[in-house]
Amino acid sequence: MMQLHWSPKSPYVRKVMVCAHELDLLPQLELVRSVAAMLKPNERLMRDNPLSKIPTLVLDNGFTLFDSGVICEYLDDLAKGSLFPKDGTSRWPAQRWQAFGNGLLDVLILWRNERERETPLQPLLDAFALKTEACLRQLDAEAASLTDAPLTIGHIAIGCALGYIDYRFDSLGWRAKAPRLATWHHTLRQRPSFEATEPIDG
């Protein structure tokens, strides 16, 4: 059985879990609760991933895979799924949306880390807010394309990023700023894979 270093709070882990649900691979995963704090490298996790980051997937033969995009593509290949389109017409929009979702998550996590510092730098907070709002505007403009395209890793990455905003930046009120994106996300989050992977404390 494969082992997945996992946390219920991580949006990158959520990407993998959504894929596992969509591909019916959950029975093949043993979830290993792993804490990956920036200032406290996890010695147990580092045996499988020297970067001390989650998600990390340990295959049956001991070979390890990271990061989330690599793991998701491996699971899709294992299940002969369609979350990573092979045709260029579909592949590059899916990969671009995945990069978009990942990039937005990177900004959000840096923003959260900065605002929790004892003396956060206001210019950094302002820059993160500006980038996030620009991303939401762009994604709102692409909501119709997201709606029309079959589910791919790009949809999953963007959905997890928006879910992270709900979890950590609820006061942002992003739906008022991106109403078309909000409508798309409302439908996406009703999929069983998203309902089952809502981030939780604990």
Q: Indicate the SS3 state at residue 38.
A: coil
CA 95 to chain centre: 13
Give the pLDDT confidence of 152-188 residue by residue, as tens digits: 999 999 999 999 999 999 999 999 999 999 999 999 9
How far apart are the C-alpha atoms of 2 and 192, rounded to whole Å?
A: 22
Give the pLDDT confidence of 120-134 residue by residue, as tens digits: 999 999 999 999 999
> What percent of the chain is predicted at pLDDT more than 70?
100
Closest alpha carbon to 159 in 67, 83, 53: 83
pLDDT for 112 equals 96
- Give the tokens for residue 135: 């991303």
CA 36 to chain centre: 16
Q: For the chain, which domains are there?
A: 2-78 (3.40.30.10), 88-193 (1.20.1050.10)
How far apart are the C-alpha atoms of 192 and 135, rounded to whole Å?
A: 26
Q: Are 170 and 115 in contact (CB under 8 A)?
A: no
Region 1-30: mean pLDDT is 97
pLDDT for 83 equals 98
State the amino acid at position 15 in one-letter form: K
What global pTM score does this model have? 0.96
Region 72-79: mean pLDDT is 98
Helix axes 122-141, 88-115, angle to 10 degrees: 150
Region 8-15: mean pLDDT is 96
How far apart are the C-alpha atoms of 124 and 115, rounded to whole Å?
A: 9
79: how many CB neighbours lie within 10 A of its CB?
16
Give the pLDDT confidence of 39-50 residue by residue, as tens digits: 788 899 999 999
